[in-house]
């Protein structure tokens, strides 16, 4: 049985969301292990990096990875309803009956 394009897009959207989330978690776990000066723990720098113009806790390669994963996921999100609409339109055209004599 042939898989429909909208089904493939749906699977790619779900996979893209999972892949992006896994990448974000791995990036956060590999963030700068510099301990917090106040408590000496590393959790604040791992899970809540300071919001500033300093992006040292994420490398340019990690940034590009997240941009590519998020971009591909968004493209699939946009393509999913378009593919579903085109399939529905094609199914409606194939099921339309012509008035008059059938098969003669």
DSSP 8-state secondary structure symbol assigned to residue 66: H
User: CA geometry: angle at 69 spanning 29 and 15, to 5°?
Assistant: 90
**How does pLDDT run across 29-87, given as a tens digit for each residue?**
776 666 556 655 555 455 555 555 555 667 788 889 989 999 999 999 999 899 888 88
> What is the C-alpha separation between 46 and 32, in angstroms, rounded?
7
Q: Look up the pTM and report it.
A: 0.64
DSSP 8-state secondary structure symbol assigned to residue 49: -
């Amino acid at each position: 049985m042939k898989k429909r394009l909208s089904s493939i897009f749906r699977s790619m959207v779900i996979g893209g969301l999972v892949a992006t989330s896994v990448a974000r978690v791995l990036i956060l776990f590999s963030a700068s292990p510099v301990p917090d000066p106040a408590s000496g723990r590393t959790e604040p720098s791992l899970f809540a990096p300071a919001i500033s113009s300093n992006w040292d806790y994420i490398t340019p390669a990690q940034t590009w990875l997240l941009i590519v994963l998020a971009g591909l996921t968004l493209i699939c999100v946009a393509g999913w309803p378009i593919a579903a609409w085109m399939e529905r339109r094609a199914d409606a055209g194939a099921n339309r009956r012509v008035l008059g004599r059938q098969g003669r």
